[in-house]
Amino acid sequence: MTDAASDTTELDPTTLLSGTEPLFLVMNSASGSLDGHETRSTIERVLSESGKSYELMQVNTGSQLVETARRAVDLAREQSGIVVAVGGDGTLNAVANEVLGKDVPMGILPQGTFNYFGRMYGIPQDTEAALACLLDAVIRPVDVGLLNSHVFLVNASIGLYPQLLEDRETYKRRYGRSRPVALWSALVTLMRAHRSLHLQIDLEGKPRRDVHTPALVVDNNALQLKHMGIDRVGDIERHHLVAMTSRSRGTLALYGLLIRGLLSRLGDAENVESFSFDTMTVQPRRGRARMKVAMDGEITRMSAPLEFRISPDKLPLLVPRDPAMEEHP
């Protein structure tokens, strides 16, 4: 977690927020666990009662999200306002990509299944509670990860994990969004055969070694690491990213890793290796000019090599005034 004392010297929230800033809310009705009508009604009621100036910019498909987020950033810059992302992890990610480096504060009303990013900074998932925090917030500059210049807030990955996410979305569309559905889809995915990746990993510009692994995950969230049982929370607090690889290839071994992860004992698994870094470059040894990657639950394809690093720009995030609300790892 970012050090609050040093951050406030970079960006003093008491001088940046007057309380009169208009809010430009980008709401993805197709995102996360949103009940679009109920969430919109709550936002309109709470903000109207508070007398806050706002514009709710609602989208119904992911394809509209980036363009709408850019428009919200432009309006916020013109009117000294704040951009607020309303939705799951993918929505927060898309809006953060547009906000980063634009000198515009960002708030979130998180609606994702696990809400690791919001919980890390004390932002509740309940919409009305999150709005109450937003209306009495301070700015905290926080670290975000970059994968080839694309922002990720929680994690980015290649290999098995993107496939798990693709299958999970299929099951969620069919059976609804819940943690049991997510677990069942993961078990079904692991039953299939998986190709191991052969990767060359360079750390801080120096060759490290070749790696054979079914998955590579890079994490920027100390709370998620703690819940997986990976003892590298201090590395995140020191502004590093944490990478995890697995040497397990068989289905039974992968089942074992999944169970350990659910029991927060992944760090005890002898087939799991974790390490922290500032900059890491990943290059496939064979073929794969473009690789399937997942960032905060959203899947895309990117050209190799893949470079992971902490962004030199921090994200000016609106967080609750009371630091006791943070969920410490």
The answer to whether the CB of 288 falls within 8 A of the CB of 294 is: no
| pTM as predicted | 0.85
Residue 268: predicted pLDDT: 52
Q: CATH for 151-310, among 3.30.450.40, 2.60.40.10, 4.10.1240.10, 2.60.200.40? A: 2.60.200.40
SS (H, E, C) the chain: CCCHHHHHHHCCHHHHCCCCCCEEEEEECCCCCCCHHHHHHHHHHHHHHHCCCEEEEEECCHHHHHHHHHHHHHHHHHHCCEEEEEECHHHHHHHHHHHCCCCCCEEEEECCCCCHHHHHCCCCCCHHHHHHHHCCEEEEEECCEEECCEEECCEEEEEHHHHHHHHHHHHHHHHCCCHHHHHHHHHHHHCCCCCCEEEEEEECCEEEEEEEECEEEEECCHHHHHHHCCCCHHHHHCCCEEEEEECCCCHHHHHHHHHHHHCCCHHHCCCEEEEEECEEEEEECCCCCEEEEEECCEEEEEECCEEEEECCCCEEEEEECCHHHCCCC
Residue 64: predicted pLDDT: 93
Residue 329: predicted pLDDT: 66
Residue 45: predicted pLDDT: 97
Per-block average pLDDT, block size 10, for the chain (329 residues)?
Answer: 41 68 93 73 97 95 91 97 95 97 96 87 94 95 96 92 70 66 65 74 87 88 85 87 76 46 46 88 82 91 95 96 79
Residue 17: predicted pLDDT: 86
Domains of the chain by residue range? 4-144+313-325, 151-310
**Residue 18 identity:** S
Q: Does domain 4-144+313-325 have CATH number 3.40.462.20?
A: no
Burial zone of 229 (CB within 10 Å; 0-12 exposed, 13-18 middle, 19+ buried):
middle
Residue 320: predicted pLDDT: 94
